[in-house]
Amino acid sequence: MKTSCGRVIKAVASKFWVDTEDGVKVCFARKKLKADGAIRVGDRAEISREGKDFVIERILPRTNALVRPYIANIDICLILLAPEPAPDFLLADKVIVNCLAEGITPVLVWNKSDLETGDLSEYNDVCRHLAVSAATGEGVAAVAELVKGKTTCFAGQSAVGKSSLINALSESPVLEVGELAKKIKRGRHTTRRTEMITLGENTYLADTCGFSMLDAVDLPPEELRLYFDDMERFRKECRFNTCLHLDEPDCAVKAHIGCGVGAGRYERYKLIYEELCDRRKNKYD
């Protein structure tokens, strides 16, 4: 049986679109692969031909995987924020933790910079960040260079401009763009599934369903500090080596709030820590 390999770029019901050297093939999956999560957009798949149909024989090992967005083998995650809808920095911090836990490079993107300049200075020691405007083209070239030859996931709230930025990078309208619901300042969900757009050789862009909530990654609460590098760098100055930077005495992180540690980042760290503690408590109650 002759097989070939490709990348799953779209999944709808029981059909999967696989990008191969011979073009995009619409494939079905073997019964053993039909369980939820067995095949994700971004997976590298081995396929074969049976008569007129193409079949996914197996999924190659993943380098990483996210649950929301439901996607695999990502190099970079662009986390979009904008002046409207109001930026959700707690969501951004949760996505950053998820990315770092999975070995994905997080990048913050302040979109719609033509409307308002965003202050991302709290993230200077966290991850790369840049300002763009899909409307005017500001910063689009820098993003294009960043994603070249990579598989990039776009994450963020609805109407934050993910589809608009992808269209700007594609230099043609490939995705439907939603409008902001003016009364409630929230977006309408125009992206209803995760799908990859091919941009040149080995360059994939994944638009994802808009979301305003995200569970923190499933990890022990005491390990959360390891994913806040901007805070953790001061741990050696704490009295206790195992300091969680909460109620411990002589905590250097708390001493650096406002001077090396962003006050907002620290408050969001505590919120995510509490969420992880509640999850563990509920799990074992």
Q: pLDDT by residue (tens digit) across 100-128?
A: 999 999 999 999 999 998 999 999 999 99
Question: What is the DSSP-derived secondary structure letter of residue 227?
Answer: G
185 neighbors 178 (Cβ within 8 angstroms): no
Say if residues 75 and 83 touch (Cβ distance below 8 Å).
no
Domain 65-207, CATH: 3.40.50.300
In angstroms, the Cα distances linking 147 to 36, 142, 195, 218, 233 are: 29, 9, 16, 28, 29
CATH no., domain 221-284? 1.10.40.50
For the chain, where do the domains classified as CATH 2.40.50.140 start and end?
A: 3-59
What integer pLDDT is reported at residue 36 of this predicted model? 63
19: phi then psi, degrees, rounded to nearest 5: -85, 115
CA distances from 16 to 12, 163, 232 (A): 6, 21, 42
Q: Which residue type, as a one-letter code, is found at position 152?
A: T
Query: How far apart are alpha carbons 74 and 102 in whole angstroms?
Result: 9
**Which tokens sit at 105?**
């490079």
Place of tokens 């309408």: 188
* Total number of residues shown for the chain: 285
Strands 23-29 and 44-50: unpaired
Which part of the chain has CATH 3.40.50.300?
65-207
Antiparallel, parallel or unpaired: β 180-181 and 71-72:
unpaired
Could you tell me the fold of the domain covering 3-59?
OB fold (Dihydrolipoamide Acetyltransferase, E2P) (2.40.50)
- Report which residue type is found at 218: D
What are the start and end residues of each CATH 1.10.40.50 domain in the chain? 221-284
Per the CB < 8 A criterion, the answer to whether 232 and 225 are in contact is yes
CB 158 within 8 A of CB 186: yes
Instruction: Give the integer Cα–Cα distance in Å for 13 and 218.
Output: 27
Q: Collect all residues with Cβ–Cβ distance below 8 Å to 285 and sequence separation of at least 6.
A: none
Cβ pair 18, 54 in contact under 8 A: yes
Rounded Cα distance between 168 and 275, Å, is 37
For the whole model, what pTM was predicted? 0.85
User: Nearest 5°: phi and psi at 2?
Assistant: -80, 130
Confidence (pLDDT) at 222: 95
Residues of the chain with pLDDT under 70: 1, 35-37, 68-69, 172-193, 208-216, 285
Cα 179 to Cα 58, 133, 168, 191, 276: the distances in Å are 40, 16, 16, 12, 34
pLDDT in the model for residue 143: 96
22 contact partners, CB below 8 Å, separation of at least 6: 4
